[in-house]
Amino acid sequence: MPEWLRRGLLRFGESVLSLVIGLLVGAIVVYVSGYDPVEAYRSLFEMSFLDIYGLSTSLSAAAPIMLTGITFAVGVRAGLFNIGAEGQLYIGALGAVLVAWIARNWVPALDSPLGTVAAYALGVILAVGLALIAALLKVKRGVHEVVSTIMLNWIAFWVVEYFRVYIVYNPEDPSKTVSVPEQARLPLLMAHSELSLAIIVSIAFTLLTYFLLWHTVEGYELRAAGLNPLAARYAGIKPEKAVILSFLIGGIAAGLAGAGEVLGKPPNYSITTGLSNLYGLGFDGITVALIGANHPIGIIFAAFFVGGLKAGARYMQIFAGIPLEMVRIVEGVIIIALAIPGVFHMLSEYLRRRKELRELQARGE
Amino acid sequence: MNKTILVASIVIIIIVAGVAVYFATRPEEEKTVTPTEQTTTTQTTEHHAVEHATESTTMQHAEEMPAEEASQQLPARELGGRNKICVVYDIGGRGDLSFNDMAYLGASKAAKDFGLDLVEVQSTSESDYLPNLRTLARSGKCAVIVAVGFLMTDAVKQVADEHPDQLFAIIDGYIEGKPNVLSVLFKEHEGSALAGALAGMLAHYYGCKAVGVVLGMEIPVLYKFEAGYYWGIRYGEKIYEQHTGQQVEPLKIFFTYTGTFNDPAKGKQATEAQLAQGACIVYNVAGATGLGIFEAVEEAAKREGKDMGPPFAIGVDADQDWIKPGFIIASMMKRVDVGVYTAVKRALDYYNGKVDQYGGVLELGLAEGGVALSKLEDLETFLNMAVEAGTIKPEQKQEIYEKVKAMREQIPDWIWEEAYKLGDTLKTNKDIEVYGLKFSDIEKMIPLDSKEIKEIRDKLKVG
């Protein structure tokens, strides 16, 4: 059996085992609280994955978190803990809205697929800009990326809120920003659903990341620097370059996710009050990356599963009569169980690297 | 190493077997319940015919049966399995002690009264509205789907078009021209007039020079609050003169738009500015921003060593009198519960053939119990709600109640009576004139735009 298949199967087995444990614990919680666990899971999985409309909803929920999962995963591959996807996603969405705003006020020609491209482009540029701030702080000043990205997330939040309230607001309904003009919206893949072309963009970019990381020199260097920066430097690889590249890819992914949410989510096609249609999508990406073992292919499936869980919250409420708070507990339990192997691997990897570094330093490196 | 692969494969086999067992054992009927694409399309194409058919059969049944029996039995049968009241909350969700909790109150009462089940769906994000509504509509089990809050307007519009056979109601949102959508709106200007009258009389009673209102975002709905409030203040002053027989100097009226519904800090700041200029009653028309108004008022009173107003705030939407007991003189209640209940009732009336048309705009004012100035009796309901939500402890209930009662008693009865009397008067006679402006004139101008509200402000000498 080839090594990659063996490892893949192993990770898959781990995930399935965790899922079973998570489901069991969740079932106990539901049962103890006086609800029917069988009914709960039936409504969750049957609607999320077996019903055609439910499936489309799961997929549309998967689209943004697949990309923010990539942001986190590429960070981990480069030895970083990049949690800036949240803020970069906000800014990416703002980029798309800015194009919509420009189209509305000055350039009607953007009410076309040209506008879609422009919106994606501006969203990505802005998000990458934000990501590069954290990257440069890391490379030039040694600022830890956790600190800088958390702070940048809040800066992004309030910048976008400012724009939403004072500049790009919709005069007819000030609770949200202007909407993307009709011709510039991403086409729906299924009538009467929320599933738009954004999912294709997500999958395509995820596959592209896979190619970048595993089939190019830069990708190899990025992963090597992540595994052991000192050894990489010894081998002539610049770890700084890997940091910048990983933030760059992460920024593009988050920017695509944010712009995609605005361009491809009916009925608003805008940013709504308190960024409530964007909030949390970046952090969901961390979950997705952990479940997907920080591997693009794993992330595709993990995003689909987490998207299904997110969409499933409504089915558990509607068909099993379980209140939202309880649904969140159950989903939380399942997600934690699924993420445990990922966390475990990441932690042991981190400890191993630190130990190696210590040993190297002890030897007078 | 091989051991792990073995474990993994065993686990996979268990899963596959589990799934197989699940499918083998799941009840057959579930299959028909799960809506498929096919049924949806046939539903849509046949909708007009179906609608007419239900209507006519309902009528026939109503004729055949004695009226009383019909009203009891018909819904379940004629609704064709639509035995649920489905409520979708916006992102605010339950536990806000206001809008959403009141919607629940109305829906659960309707469920009990009409023998229907209640299905509640909370939205975790703005993107949830559409799929929540769609899933409910597709389930075909909802007698009516109630969307609570104007934020869902776009989503309701879209789903209502996709499911013409499903009845919808939207609270506080305005959707026109759809036979299957009922827009439930409130006559906030009527309730605000009572709040204004109370403020006008109280201000003179305590001898202050000004009253104020702090508002959220500048949207047309809030103009209705403004206009009613200003008119009420001038009316209150007139009554005060009549009652006491003395000439009073007209109050200054301040208004501040904070631009937000969820920033208590801004509400506090705006209120402090108004209090500094001599206002002693401040009306909250700002959602959660208003929590800052209450704080500012309480602090101002406490600085003077008082544990009760003046200055006072006036609450909004829910009966907020308990939030800062002793400092919120009364609340302009917007009875979302009444709105939801009425919408459900109308849907059932439609199925029963009692009304021929469902969609349209339903405006609830003083006469319909849609808006009201809070009374001591209302406090009980909302205290219970707060206890249930865990905001106050059960043992605090009595204490709060006593304090609010004491606050109300320090004001002469005639002021309260006059304020509530205006409520009764406006139900029948809207031609009362103050400063050359009849209440009916204001009503005629609704929906108000920014030019019209300026005109009203000028006439009533505001600002």
pLDDT, tens only, A58-85? 999 999 999 999 999 999 999 899 999 9
Residue whose tokens read 């009840």: B27
Contacts of residue B125 in chain A, CB cutoff 8 Å?
A: 276-277, 279-280
Radius of gyration of the CA atoms of chain A, in A: 21
B253 three-state secondary structure: strand
Q: Where are the alpha helices (DSSP H) in chain A?
A: 3-32, 37-45, 52-77, 85-105, 113-141, 145-162, 198-215, 217-227, 229-234, 239-263, 281-291, 296-320, 324-362
Does residue B59 sit within a domain? no
Residue by residue, pLDDT tens for chain B (463 residues) are 466 666 666 666 666 766 665 555 554 443 333 333 333 333 333 333 333 333 333 333 333 333 333 333 333 335 677 889 999 998 777 767 778 888 998 999 999 999 999 999 998 888 899 999 999 999 988 999 999 988 899 999 999 999 998 999 999 888 988 999 999 999 999 999 999 999 999 999 999 999 999 998 877 788 999 999 999 999 999 999 999 988 889 999 999 998 877 788 999 999 999 999 999 999 999 888 888 999 999 999 999 988 887 899 999 988 899 989 999 999 999 999 999 999 999 999 998 888 888 989 999 999 988 999 999 988 988 888 888 777 888 888 889 999 999 999 999 999 999 999 999 999 988 889 999 899 999 988 887 888 889 999 999 999 7
Contacts of residue B122 in chain A, CB cutoff 8 Å?
A: 317, 323-324
Write B15-22 long-range contacts (CB < 8 A, 24+): B15/A16, B15/A20
Nearest by CB: B5 against A9, A17, A319:
A9
Nearest by CB: A276 against B14, B122, B125:
B125
Q: What is the pLDDT of residue A359?
A: 82
DSSP for A66-93, please give it. Answer: HHHHHHHHHHHHTT-----HHHHHHHHH
ipTM for the assembly? 0.90
Task: Give the residue from A41, A48, A276 with the most B CB atoms within 10 Å of its CB, the best one to mutate.
Answer: A276
Does residue B18 sit within a domain? no
Write B107-110 long-range contacts (CB < 8 A, 24+): B107/B146, B107/B340, B107/B341, B107/B344, B109/B337, B109/B341, B110/B85, B110/B340, B110/B341, B110/B344, B110/B345
A144 three-state secondary structure: coil
Does residue B394 sit within a domain? yes
CA nearest A20 in B: which residue?
A: B15
What single DSSP character describes residue A164?
I
Same domain for B344 and B324: no
Same domain for B135 and B235: no
| The one-letter amino acid at B147 | A
CB burial of residue B20 (10 Å; 0-12, 13-18, 19+): exposed
Residues linked to residue B437 through DSSP beta bridges, in sequence order? B434
Q: What is the pLDDT of residue A5?
A: 82
User: How many residues are present in chain A?
Assistant: 365
The answer to whether A92 and A257 have CB atoms below 8 angstroms apart is: yes
The pLDDT tens digits of the residues spanning A79-130 come to 899 999 999 999 999 999 999 999 999 999 999 999 999 999 999 999 999 9
Give which of B226, B293, B288 is closest to B463, Cα–Cα. Answer: B226
pTM of the complete model: 0.81
d(CA B294, CA B109): 31
Does residue B69 sit within a domain? no
What single DSSP character describes residue B447?
S
Same domain for B308 and B432: yes
CATH of the domain at B348: 3.40.50.2300
Alpha carbon of B205: minimum distance to chain A alpha carbons (Å): 39
Contacts of residue B215 in chain A, CB cutoff 8 Å?
A: none
Q: Which structural domain, as residue segments, surrounds residue B218?
A: 189-333+375-461
The pLDDT tens digits of the residues spanning A281-338 come to 999 999 999 999 899 999 999 999 999 999 988 999 999 889 888 898 998 999 889 8
Task: Give the residue from B30, B39, B135 with the most A CB atoms within 10 Å of its CB, the best one to mutate.
Answer: B135
Q: Is A13 close to B12, i.e. CB distance below 8 A?
A: yes
Same domain for B261 and B243: yes
Same domain for B355 and B429: no
Radius of gyration of the CA atoms of chain B, in A: 26
Same domain for B248 and B148: no
> Count of alpha carbons within 13 Å of A53, Cβ hemisphere only?
22
What is the sign, positive or negative, of the torsion defined by CA atoms of B51, B55, B57, B58? Answer: positive
Does residue B425 sit within a domain? yes
Same domain for B241 and B138: no
| The one-letter amino acid at B407 | M
With a CB cutoff of 8 Å and minimum separation 6, the contacts of B177 are none
d(CA A287, CA A338): 9
CB burial of residue A357 (10 Å; 0-12, 13-18, 19+): middle
CA nearest B26 in A: which residue?
A: A42
Number of structural domains, chain B? 2
| The one-letter amino acid at B39 | T
The answer to whether A82 and A249 have CB atoms below 8 angstroms apart is: no
CA nearest A328 in B: which residue?
A: B124
Same domain for B205 and B131: no
Same domain for B403 and B298: yes
Does residue B65 sit within a domain? no
Does residue B5 sit within a domain? no
d(CA A258, CA B379): 45
Which domains, and CATH codes, for chain A? 60-304 (1.10.3470)
Same domain for B418 and B311: yes
The answer to whether A311 and A58 have CB atoms below 8 angstroms apart is: yes
Structure tokens at A11: 């990770």
Q: What is the pLDDT of residue B5?
A: 64
d(CA A295, CA A345): 13
Contacts of residue B131 in chain A, CB cutoff 8 Å?
A: 57, 194, 311, 314
> Count of alpha carbons within 13 Å of A174, Cβ hemisphere only?
14
d(CA A53, CA A199): 15
Same domain for B411 and B400: yes
With a CB cutoff of 8 Å and minimum separation 6, the contacts of B278 are B208, B209, B210, B252
Mean pLDDT computed over every residue of chain A = 91
The pLDDT tens digits of the residues spanning A124-151 come to 999 999 999 999 999 999 999 999 999 9
Whole-number Cα distances in Å, B417 to B95, B194, B197, B333, B424: 33, 11, 11, 17, 11
Same domain for B230 and B175: no
Does residue B75 sit within a domain? no
Nearest by CB: A266 against B1, B153, B158:
B158
With a CB cutoff of 8 Å and minimum separation 6, the contacts of B17 are none
Torsion of CA A51, A55, A57, A58, to 10 degrees: 130
Q: What is the pLDDT of residue B9?
A: 67
